[in-house]
Amino acid sequence: MRINRKLAVIASFAGIAALSIAASLPQQQGPPEYKNLKVLPKKLSHEQLGKIMGMWAGSLGVHCNFCHVHDDQTNKMDFASDAKPEKEAARHMYLMAAKINKKFFNAQKDSLGMMMESSVNCYTCHRGSAHPEVKLPERQRGPGGPPPGGAPPAGTPPPPGNK
């Protein structure tokens, strides 16, 4: 009988130790509950959201603080805040690219609601610049020479028949 009592005490201590170890381990959970996702799917994992944000940041050559604010009280980024207008601009740009891809490139959405194939993305225009330069191509003179009424470039021989 004494042996059984000792085994019961040892087993209960082992059970308590196992429960405390299990409680300290990270628990398997579903996707995180994000606050304020307005255009991205809510079912994204932390890793998936990180990849998307990394692609956007890399395409614009910026860091998190370009769109997100830093909370001085918690000394952390406040990713849910809409305080910066750049965050709303990013949402509009994402929707614009998705619309272009769907309309002109027949892109379909995956099970999370993200575009599976992307012909147009942030990098298409930004090329590593937060504010891409809008530049018109330089005007090239065609094979017919200068426009009517304009003087020919210096050193250009006169057309045949004109002396």
CA 46 to CA 33: how far, in whole Å? 10
**pLDDT for position 19:** 46
| pLDDT by residue, tens only, the chain of 163 residues | 555 565 454 545 444 544 445 455 455 566 688 999 999 998 899 999 999 999 999 999 999 999 999 999 999 999 999 999 999 999 999 999 989 988 888 887 777 777 776 789 999 999 999 999 988 888 776 666 656 666 666 777 777 765 5
Most distant pair of Cα atoms in the chain: their distance? 130
Tally of residues, the chain: 163
**Interior angle at CA 54, CA 48 and CA 59, nearest 5:** 130
Q: What is the DSSP letter of 66?
A: G
